[in-house]
């Protein structure tokens, strides 16, 4: 008889595996009920009885008017459903009196919030439309023709192409460059038989280019991102417009920052990569509308120095200041020019001890993971000084991928899978001019992952599970993003994007993905106070 | 073989139902018939689902997706099974999660190996439809990912779990259409063909609403002349307009109420239809006899503490009357969801029966 031992084979439960091709062997946690873990819930066996009692209390509280509770649920904010104890407790505080000091079964409590009236029926939410028509019928037709008509030969060629890519990557890893080179030639030939406008053909082309560059420039070649900072900003802006990943990142981070700043009159946001400052107008406006009035907002934007005498950081700062003025938010901007994040020193940020600080890192931390794992590696240094700032919140958004594995073939395979999915998702977005440059943005990332090494390889993406361990180990604990953030992120998607994108909740973090494959993950953190000795449990 | 049924189980069932009959069941007793962790799991589902269903018939989909525990597909074999997702219909966004046994030679498949031809004289392919009363859960819900993985192991099968569109946003017949699309897709995959006859050996399986879908997809398949080797229905979701004895006796006693059952039918069936619609009540007044139709053999599992058991038993009876082969497994003390956690005897009994049901193919 098959016995299912969940602790040794948690196929993707909880934080073990957002990345689909990394093995998820989570060390068994003491006393966690293995069967419930397999169902996605973390409960200690010793707490089961307690949870059961609370569920009963909730049931009794709901028993009288179950219909009203769906209305209350719409307004309640729930957190981290995997942690059953917490979740049930948060519901209890929403719907019932807090528990008395002695516990016993079948306590009947008066229900708070019994103000729900039957008129709730008439203000029910409309259905969220399941199909979002954001392209015209003709455009859809032509897209369909591009996407769905794949001849048998094309499909065959596509598979052969992938086979060859893998073989070529294997050759590169083992050093058989002459075979690799001839494979490049073969693949380029095969590309002519495959539709390179979409699907596997398109992404394969980019991987062939990247492999080719790697072979012909030797190991540790120069940065493939030869573009200037100016170019990169443009590409970034187009990537922002063409697909929802960055919008999701900004939106989710802003939501968390807004909540963290609640009650503070002086706030300071440190943005690790300002670019065109696309994230900040929304936050400025949200702060302007804050009940009780906006705080004084300082924004410190970090970015690369502008070579040609322009001060692009300052230009962005001025524009944001203009916006802030128009909505009556007292605002001050400071630019910190640095080629690399590790060159930034905390004194440059001029943080005032009285202000509430938010550190915002959108796809920047992975750049610090240089291959040498020395004791004072850049990531440790930076995380250490961030902690020293004692921020109210640190928002972290990272690609949900394992592109920092030491073995080239593993990295290559993962990247092929990841970027295929991403390109797939991009195709589904409506046809627009931004797409072409957005693709170049992604192409550059691919190039860096595949053809660069050493300090030139900056796209060292790691999955959320690894970031959790790293950040917990560096003295941070997770702040959970709740059901309201989830809901709003989902609604944002239906507004801006095509069908197929999905938001998922994973133990307090949110991820955005394409057809059940998460591609980008957002999390929020806070420094554990220095006197608090135990590390946050993951 | 068209006639069938297990007379022995039936007799035992009738006898035991006669003996049961205490109406004095309260929450406490509910806790005594299932292990504590099962009780916690199903109660928290019940609680969550109560929050999601609105009295006006709408559904809090955002909160549902937030609360549902999902797991990604995993190319790395875990307990000898790996999985990957496939988009089989772009127009509707229909995804399936495919579970395959890892072979000794390819312990770690890469993306090229996913659609490698199955090896074997006879390789069963089980198309699985998850439960959730047509409104809840997904193919990537943790509980169903776990169940599908187990089915691969016990049946030595490939399992295709269909992420069908759900109510109330997508009413009848969307779920059935998606099931049919998935069925045709599976049937046309050359890499799923058994070597013996170069055909795909298809079984349909599902729990709750998934069981209902399996029945209807099977009916459509035989209509189209495509063979289905067997149906496996776990606590299948059927109903009807009248109130049956089991519904009244067990209402609210074991996690499920008549009220929520009614809500889900109202959410799934076309507006204005009642529960005698053939989707809900396939052998009812608007149903159709399967007499003379080559319907596959069925394994129907009924939980003795499930309030809709009268409808499930009527379904079995309907199959029998039409001369179809059906084996009924009546699990007397089982509640809904007993097959989600392997911590009870019903679970192991049923898994063994499923294994035998699929394995008896030659």
Instruction: Compare CB distances from B51 to A12, A51, A69 and report the shortest one's residue.
Output: A69
Does A117 contact chain B (CB < 8 Å)? no
Does the pLDDT at position B6 exceed 60?
A: no
If pLDDT is split at 50, 70 and 90, which confidence band does B203 have?
very high
Q: What is the pLDDT of residues B308-329, one digit of tens each?
A: 999 999 999 999 999 999 999 9
From chain A, pick out residues whose CB is under 8 angstroms from the CB of B40: 36, 43, 48, 51-52, 55, 84
Report the gap between the CA of B143 and the closest CA in chain A (Å): 5
Question: How far, in Å, CA of A372 to CA of A344, rounded?
Answer: 20
pTM of the full structure:
0.79
Q: Give the pLDDT score at A113.
A: 26
Query: Which pairing describes strands A509-514 and A517-527: parallel, antiparallel, or unpaired?
Result: antiparallel
Distances (CA, A) of A207 to A186, A194, A210, A436: 14, 15, 5, 17
The residue among A21, A24, A47 with the most chain B CBs within 10 A of its CB, best to mutate, is A21
Mean pLDDT of B46-54: 93
Interchain contact A33–B (C-beta under 8 A):
yes
Give residue A193's pLDDT: 76
Report pLDDT for B336.
95
Minimum distance, in Å, between the CA of residue B35 and any CA atom of chain A: 11
3-state secondary structure of A270: strand
Length of chain A as a residue count: 538
Query: What is the model's pLDDT at position B350?
Result: 97
Q: Give the residue from B174, B78, B81 showing the smallest Cα distance to B126.
A: B81
Q: Looking at the complex, report in whole angstroms how far the Cα of residue B341 sits from the nearest Cα belonging to chain A.
A: 6
Nearest CB to B67; choose among A81, A124, A125? A81
A69 touches chain B (CB under 8 A): yes
Predicted pLDDT of residue A78: 86
Instruction: Test A58 with B47 for CB contact under 8 angstroms.
Output: yes
Contact (Cβ atoms closer than 8 angstroms) between residue A67 and residue B257: no
CB-based contacts of A445, cutoff 8 Å, min separation 6: A419, A459
The pair phi, psi for residue B324, each rounded to 5°, is -95, 150
Active site amino acids of B = 208
B97/B76 Cα distance (integer angstroms) = 14
The pLDDT of residue A129 is: 35
The helix (run of H) or strand (run of E) holding residue B233 is strand B230-234
> Which residues 402-441 of chain A have a CB within 8 Å of chain B?
413, 416-417
So what's the pLDDT on residue A17?
A: 33
Which residues on A lie below 8 Å from B69 (Cβ)? 39-41, 81-82
CA distance B215 to chain A (A): 26
Count other Cβ atoms within 10 Å, centred on residue B287: 17
Q: CB–CB of A35 and B341 under 8 A?
A: yes
Lowest mean pLDDT among A106-110, B7-11, B42-46, B190-194: A106-110
DSSP 8-state assignment for residue B298? E
Closest chain A C-alpha to B320 CA, distance in angstroms:
31
pLDDT at B272 over 70: yes
Strands A476-479 and A517-527 turn out to be: antiparallel
Rounded to 5°, angle at Cα B128 from B125 and B133: 170
Q: Which of residues 176-195 of A touch B (CB under 8 A)?
A: none
pLDDT at A310: 76
In sequence order, which residues have a C-beta less than 8 Å from that of residue B47 and are 6 or more positions away? A55, A58, A59, A62, A88, A91
For residue B114, the chain A residue with the least C-alpha distance is: A159
Q: Cis link prior to A363 (omega < 30° from 0)? A: no
Mean pLDDT of B98-113: 77
Look at the domain B29-360 and name its fold.
Rossmann fold (3.40.50)
Nearest chain B residue to A498 by CA: give it.
B93
d(CA B219, CA A15): 42
**Tens digit of each residue's pLDDT (9 = 90 or more) over B139-153:** 999 999 999 999 999
pLDDT of residue A375: 64
Please judge whether A127 and B58 are an interchain contact, meaning their C-beta atoms are less than 8 angstroms apart: yes
Q: Do A73 and B60 touch (CB under 8 A)?
A: yes
Nearest CA in chain B to A130: B169
Of A379-393, A489-503, B92-106, B119-133, the one with minimum mean pLDDT is A489-503
Chain A interface, best mutation among B71, B85, B110, by max A CB count within 10 A: B71
Q: Name the residue of chain A whose CA is nearest to B88's CA.
A: A148
In chain A, what's the furthest Cα-to-Cα distance? 78
Q: Are A453 and A221 contacting, i.e. CB atoms less than 8 angstroms apart?
A: yes
Q: Where are the domains of chain B?
A: 29-360
Q: Are A59 and B47 inside 8 Å of each other by CB?
A: yes
Do the Cβ atoms of B36 and A48 come within 8 Å?
Answer: yes
Chain A residues close to B74, C-beta within 8 Å: 11-12, 17, 20-21, 24
Residue of B nearest to A517 (CA): B72
Which one of B36, B37, B43, B258 makes the best mutation probe of the A interface by having the most chain A beta carbons within 10 Å?
Answer: B37
From first to last of its 538 residues, what are the pLDDT tens digits of chain A? 221 122 223 333 333 333 333 344 444 457 899 999 999 999 999 899 999 999 988 888 777 666 677 777 777 888 889 999 988 888 887 776 554 433 333 222 233 322 222 222 222 223 333 333 343 444 444 444 444 444 555 666 777 888 899 999 999 999 998 999 999 999 998 888 777 666 677 799 999 999 999 988 754 444 455 577 888 888 999 999 888 999 999 999 999 999 999 999 999 999 999 999 999 999 999 999 999 999 999 999 999 998 777 788 999 999 999 999 999 999 999 999 998 999 999 999 999 999 999 999 999 999 999 866 666 789 999 999 999 999 999 999 999 999 999 899 999 999 998 999 999 888 888 777 778 899 999 999 999 999 998 888 999 999 999 999 999 999 999 999 988 899 889 988 888 777 889 999 999 999 999 988 999 999 999 998 866 545 444 3
SS3 A222: coil
């Amino acid at each position: 008889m098959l016995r299912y031992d969940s602790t040794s084979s948690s196929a993707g439960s909880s934080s073990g595996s957002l990345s689909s091709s990394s093995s998820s062997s989570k060390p068994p946690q003491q006393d966690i009920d293995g069967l419930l873990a397999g169902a996605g819930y973390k409960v200690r066996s010793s707490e089961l009885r307690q949870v059961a009692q609370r569920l009963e209390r909730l049931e009794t509280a709901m028993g009288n008017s179950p219909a009203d509770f769906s209305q209350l649920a719409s307004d309640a904010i729930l957190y981290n459903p995997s942690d059953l104890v917490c979740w049930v407790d948060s519901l209890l505080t929403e719907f019932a009196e807090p528990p008395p000091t002695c516990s016993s079964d079948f306590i009947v409590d008066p229900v708070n919030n019994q103000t729900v009236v039957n008129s709730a029926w008439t203000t029910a939410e409309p259905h969220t439309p399941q199909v979002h028509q954001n392209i015209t019928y003709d455009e859809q037709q032509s897209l369909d023709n591009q996407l769905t008509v794949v001849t048998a030969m094309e499909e065959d060629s596509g598979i052969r192409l992938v086979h060859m890519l893998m073989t070529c990557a294997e050759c590169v890893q083992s050093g058989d460059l002459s075979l690799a080179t001839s494979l490049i030639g073969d693949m380029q030939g095969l590309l002519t038989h495959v539709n390179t406008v979409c699907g596997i053909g398109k992404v394969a082309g980019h991987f062939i280019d990247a492999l080719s560059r790697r072979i012909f420039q030797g190991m540790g070649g120069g940065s493939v991102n030869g573009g200037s900072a100016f170019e990169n900003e443009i590409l970034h802006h187009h990537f922002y417009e063409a697909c929802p990943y960055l919008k999701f990142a900004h939106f989710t981070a802003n939501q968390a920052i807004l909540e963290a700043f609640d009650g503070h009159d002086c706030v300071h946001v440190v943005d690790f990569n300002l670019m065109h400052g696309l994230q900040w107008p929304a936050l400025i406006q949200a702060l302007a509308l804050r009940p009780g009035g906006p705080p004084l907002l300082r924004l410190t934007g970090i970015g690369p120095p502008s070579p040609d005498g322009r001060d692009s950081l300052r230009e962005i700062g001025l524009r944001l200041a203009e916006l802030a003025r128009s909505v009556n938010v007292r605002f001050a901007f400071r630019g910190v020019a640095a080629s690399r994040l590790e060159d930034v020193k905390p004194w440059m940020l001029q943080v005032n001890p009285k202000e509430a600080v938010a550190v915002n890192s959108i796809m920047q931390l992975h750049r610090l993971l240089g291959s040498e794992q020395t004791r004072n590696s850049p990531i440790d240094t930076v995380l250490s000084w961030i902690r020293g700032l004692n921020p109210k919140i640190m928002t972290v958004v990272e690609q949900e991928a394992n592109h920092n594995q030491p073995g080239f073939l593993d990295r290559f395979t993962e990247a092929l899978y990841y970027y295929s999915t991403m390109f797939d998702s991009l195709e589904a977005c409506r046809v627009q001019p931004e797409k072409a440059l957005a693709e170049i943005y992604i192409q550059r990332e691919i190039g860096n992952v595949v053809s660069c090494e050493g300090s030139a390889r900056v796209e060292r993406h790691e999955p959320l599970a690894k970031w959790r361990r790293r950040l917990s180990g560096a003295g941070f604990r997770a702040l959970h993003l709740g059901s309201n953030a989830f809901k709003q992120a989902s609604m944002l998607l239906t507004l801006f994007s095509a069908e197929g994108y999905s938001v998922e909740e994973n133990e307090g973090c949110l991820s955005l993905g394409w057809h059940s494959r998460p591609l980008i993950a957002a999390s929020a953190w806070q420094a554990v106070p220095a006197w608090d000795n135990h590390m946050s449990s993951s | 073989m068209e006639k069938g049924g297990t007379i022995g189980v039936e007799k035992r069932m009738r006898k035991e139902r006669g003996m049961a009959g205490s109406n004095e069941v309260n929450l406490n007793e509910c806790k005594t018939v299932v292990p504590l962790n099962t009780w916690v799991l199903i109660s928290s589902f019940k609680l969550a689902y109560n929050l999601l269903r609105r009295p006006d018939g709408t559904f809090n989909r955002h909160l549902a997706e937030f609360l549902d525990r999902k797991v990604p597909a995993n190319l790395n074999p875990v307990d000898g099974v790996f999985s990957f997702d496939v988009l089989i219909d772009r127009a509707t966004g229909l995804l399936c999660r495919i579970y395959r046994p890892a072979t000794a030679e390819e312990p770690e498949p890469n993306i090229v190996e996913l659609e490698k031809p199955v090896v074997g004289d006879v390789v069963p392919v089980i198309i699985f439809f998850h439960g959730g009363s047509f409104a809840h859960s997904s193919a990537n819900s943790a509980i169903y990912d776990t169940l599908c993985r187990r089915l691969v192991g016990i049946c030595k099968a490939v399992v295709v779990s269909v992420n069908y569109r759900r109510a109330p946003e997508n009413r009848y017949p969307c779920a059935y259409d998606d099931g049919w699309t998935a069925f045709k897709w599976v049937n046309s995959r050359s890499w799923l063909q058994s070597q013996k006859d170069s055909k795909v050996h298809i079984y349909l399986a599902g729990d709750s609403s998934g069981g209902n879908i399996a029945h209807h997809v099977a009916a459509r398949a035989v209509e189209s002349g495509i063979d289905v080797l067997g149906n496996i229905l776990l606590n299948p979701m059927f109903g009807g307009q009248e109130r049956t004895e089991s519904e009244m006796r067990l209402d609210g006693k074991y996690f499920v109420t008549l009220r929520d059952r009614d809500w889900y039918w109202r959410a799934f069936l076309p507006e204005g239809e009642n529960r005698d619609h053939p989707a809900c009540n396939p052998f009812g007044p608007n149903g159709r006899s399967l007499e003379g139709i080559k319907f596959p053999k069925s394994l129907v599992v009924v939980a003795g503490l499930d309030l809709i058991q009268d409808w499930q038993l009527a379904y079995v009876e309907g199959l029998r009357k039409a001369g179809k082969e059906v084996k009924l497994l009546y699990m007397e003390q089982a509640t809904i969801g007993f097959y989600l956690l392997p911590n009870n005897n019903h679970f192991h009994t049923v898994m063994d029966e499923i294994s035998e049901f699929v394995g008896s193919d030659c």
